[in-house]
Amino acid sequence: MRRLFIKTYGCQMNVYDSARMAEVLAPLGYAVAAAAEDADLVILNTCHIREHAAEKVFSELGRLRKLKLRRGGDMVIAVAGCVAQAEGQEIMARAPHVDIVLGPQTYHRLPEMVARASRAGGRVLDTEFPAEPKFDYLPSPTAHGPAAFLSVQEGCDKFCTFCVVPYTRGGEYSRPAGAILDEAAALIGQGVRELTLLGQNVNAYHGRGADGAVWGLGRLIRELADRFDGLQAIRYTTSHPGDVDDELIAAHREVPRLMPFLHLPVQSGSDRILAAMNRRHTADDYRRLVDRLRAARPDLALSSDFILGFPGETDRDYQATLALIDDIGFAQAYSFKYSPRPGTPAAGMEGQVPEQVKEERLAGLQRLVAGQAMAFNRACVGRRFPVLLDRPGRHPGQLLGRSPYMQSVFVDAPAELLGSMQVLRVTRANANSLAAVLDGGAS
């Protein structure tokens, strides 16, 4: 028996990829270890989106180097994910104790990479975008609890000027619908009740359907709901406003098990900045789109990403972003100071905004969004809704789940309810969560 430790950074796609890597390696006798200290094979599954991402990986690699020395060199170290894709050569050159560097598209080849690396001196760099999609080579998935992720799409063709994703994850690729339905069936057969469909730009999904036609995300969601009675909640993330089509809006209207929450990043409320970001939509396009979505599903809760201090952003642009937030009313949002990514067009743009201005704008925006989130949470007090209790809470006797609107909800409940869907009544709103009581039995 050998031991494997995977440290995952970044987005949910990486969480999904890490689970799949563990599954690919299981037939070689690798069981998951709790810490790098106990592992024969350590994989860092990296994320390139945040600032200094590569430096963080190198400092983690410094720590692993000491562990490897302590074990007399008897440890295979692999770097996977988006930093590996972007900085593969650099990692090979700067970190000789790293045995394997692999990109997000080649982890189905991990068994042979590990075999090569286990032979003396056999270092491997594989950051190809292979013609054969990795999904065709992955084993059937193992469920780890009642909620699961399912990657349906990867990569992005949008080329927003601040973003590294089109370079690290490559061009847009949609999995055939049949493979997705098979994976869903396997997960649901193991007790999964909630699926989150994943993709860098998930609503660009356009996979070959079982009937030979091209299915969009709306159709895929509808088919999942139709085929699987055991599937009680469907979510998807992350979306681009330009790829929300009529079929997807109709799914929000007509598929009750599609949860009323949508993470739909807008990034800015200024048309000038949106154009410089190459977002391909205006602030009013976004307002109109949200109107249409809310007409279809009036209780739809919205979330977004915002970038503050994009090159050339003036105070007026910033005010336009605040005005958009005022108009929409978000249930939650993520916000980031712009930081240049080498190789992206915005990194070389004129008008880089001073750090202090970015910080002030970020703080102002976060105050506004926190107020909206608190108001949204308060409006939920007294409401009843079904919640899949998928995790133990922080305190003994507590279980945790997600509301239909994606808020964390905690409830005092016996441990045997873990994994079940229960109707809860919300009793208290916090800044980032709801407190609830059991109210009405299983749903």
- Interacting residue ranges for ligand 5AD, rule: CB under 6 A: 49, 162-163, 265, 267, 305, 307, 336, 338-339, 341
Instruction: Kindly state the smallest distance separating residue 62's Cβ from ligand 5AD, in Å.
Output: 25
Task: Take residue 45 and report the two structure tokens written for it.
Answer: 């599954």
Nearer to ligand 5AD, 282 or 352 (CB): 352
Residue 200 interface partner, choices ligand 5AD, ligand SF4, none, CB cut-off 5-8 Å depending on type:
ligand SF4
Q: Which of 74, 43, 48, 75 is nearest to 60 (CA)?
A: 43
Nearer to ligand SF4, 158 or 222 (CB): 158
Which contacts qualify for 23-27: CB closer than 8 Å, 24 or more apart? 23/138, 23/139, 23/141, 23/142, 24/107, 24/108, 24/110, 24/111, 24/138, 24/139, 25/110, 25/111, 25/114, 26/139, 27/111, 27/139
Instruction: Kindly state the smallest distance separating residue 388's Cβ from ligand SF4, in Å.
Output: 28
Instruction: Kindly state the smallest distance separating residue 144's Cβ from ligand 5AD, in Å.
Output: 24
Lookup result for tokens 């065709």: 136
Instruction: Kindly state the smallest distance separating residue 63's Cβ from ligand SF4, in Å.
Output: 30
Distance CA 78, CA 18 (A): 12
Task: Take residue 323 and report the two structure tokens written for it.
Answer: 């005005």
Which residues are CB-contacts of 85 (< 8 A; sequence separation ≥ 6)?
48, 103, 104, 127, 167, 168, 169
Nearer to ligand SF4, 103 or 166 (CB): 166
> For strand 301-308 and strand 332-337, is the pairing parallel, antiparallel, or unpaired?
parallel
Residue 83 interface partner, choices ligand 5AD, ligand SF4, none, CB cut-off 5-8 Å depending on type:
none
Nearer to ligand 5AD, 58 or 336 (CB): 336
Nearer to ligand 5AD, 162 or 330 (CB): 162
Q: Which residues would be at the binding site for ligand SF4 (CB under 6 A)?
A: 156, 158-160, 163, 165-166, 200-201, 240
Distance CA 39, CA 21 (A): 15
Residue 12 interface partner, choices ligand 5AD, ligand SF4, none, CB cut-off 5-8 Å depending on type:
none
Instruction: Kindly state the smallest distance separating residue 406's Cβ from ligand 5AD, in Å.
Output: 16
State how far Cα 197 lies from the chain centre.
9
Residue 49 interface partner, choices ligand SF4, ligand 5AD, none, CB cut-off 5-8 Å depending on type:
ligand 5AD
Instruction: Kindly state the smallest distance separating residue 318's Cβ from ligand SF4, in Å.
Output: 19
Which residues are CB-contacts of 225 (< 8 A; sequence separation ≥ 6)?
231, 234, 255, 257, 258
